[in-house]
């Protein structure tokens, strides 16, 4: 089954709704320049109130110290860190006590075998402008599954996510702006339709009705 992550959560009500609608994970953005930034104290409140079985992912961009980042993630109760900057394979390998999701931008020069340099990890493949709701050419991701667990992001919404799931068979899909009413605030109906579309596509791929 394709995992669904609702990213850019900044209010508990949106996190609660995402979980109740069946999201597998939520993303909290700790990049200060993002319109979806959430400060650590508010993030802690959101995490504390979440129901069990929901994975919480922290989004970071070029944090200067991987050990400090790891300590921060553990103190807050994050299950994984999603690295959206220019973090090197060596940087990623220094984070051992929390799961790492390395985000990579898929552009005209992207090659899936680049993933090999990071070892066996989880990757998020995104558009050239993360958070801007811009899709990339999905055929550039063909073959990526051979190098780890692949999450597809960038311009996804209820109208196109079925095609992504059907053609790329990713481990997961990640959506932010595609289920928003404005940056950082989620739209309940858009989240419902997105998650429902993913689940129905999974069932169809397994031969269900």
pLDDT attached to residue 67:
96
Q: Of 169, 159, 156, 160, which is closest to residue 202 (Cα–Cα)?
A: 169
Give the pLDDT band (50/70/90) at residue 141.
Answer: very high
pLDDT averaged over the chain? 94
Q: Which two tokens stand for residue 165?
A: 């799931």
Tokens for 115? 């993933």
CA atoms within a 13 Å half-sphere pointing along the CA-CB vector of 40: 9
Q: What is the pLDDT of residues 67-82, one digit of tens each?
A: 999 999 999 999 999 9
Tell me the mean pLDDT in the region 166-194: 96
Q: Give the pLDDT score at 184.
A: 84
- Alpha-carbon torsion angle 78, 82, 85, 86, nearest 10: 110
Task: Please name which of 3, 192, 23 lies closest in space to residue 101, comparing C-alpha atoms.
Answer: 3
Q: Which residues are catalytic?
A: 7, 126
- Residue 127's pLDDT is 84
Q: What is the CATH number of domain 3-205?
A: 3.20.20.70
Total-model pTM: 0.94
């Amino acid at each position: 089954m394709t995992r669904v992550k609702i990213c850019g959560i900044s209010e508990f009500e949106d996190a609660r709704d995402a979980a109740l609608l069946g999201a597998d994970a939520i993303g909290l953005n700790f990049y200060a320049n993002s319109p979806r930034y959430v400060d650590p104290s508010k993030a802690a409140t959101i995490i504390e109130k979440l129901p069990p079985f929901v994975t919480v992912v922290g989004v970071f961009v070029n944090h200067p110290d991987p050990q400090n980042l790891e300590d921060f993630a553990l103190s807050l109760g994050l299950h994984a860190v999603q690295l959206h900057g220019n973090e090197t394979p060596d940087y990623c390998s220094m984070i051992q006590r929390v799961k790492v999701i390395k985000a990579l931008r898929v552009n005209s020069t992207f090659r899936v075998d680049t993933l090999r340099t990071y070892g066996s990890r989880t990757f998020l493949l995104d558009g050239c402008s993360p958070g801007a709701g811009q899709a990339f050419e999905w055929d550039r991701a063909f073959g990526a599954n051979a190098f780890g667990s692949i999450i597809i992001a960038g311009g996804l919404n209820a109208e196109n996510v079925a095609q992504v799931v059907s053609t790329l068979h990713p481990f997961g899909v990640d959506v932010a702006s595609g289920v928003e009413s404005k940056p950082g605030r989620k739209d309940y109906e858009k989240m419902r339709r997105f998650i429902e579309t993913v689940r129905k596509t999974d069932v169809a791929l397994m031969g269900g009705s």
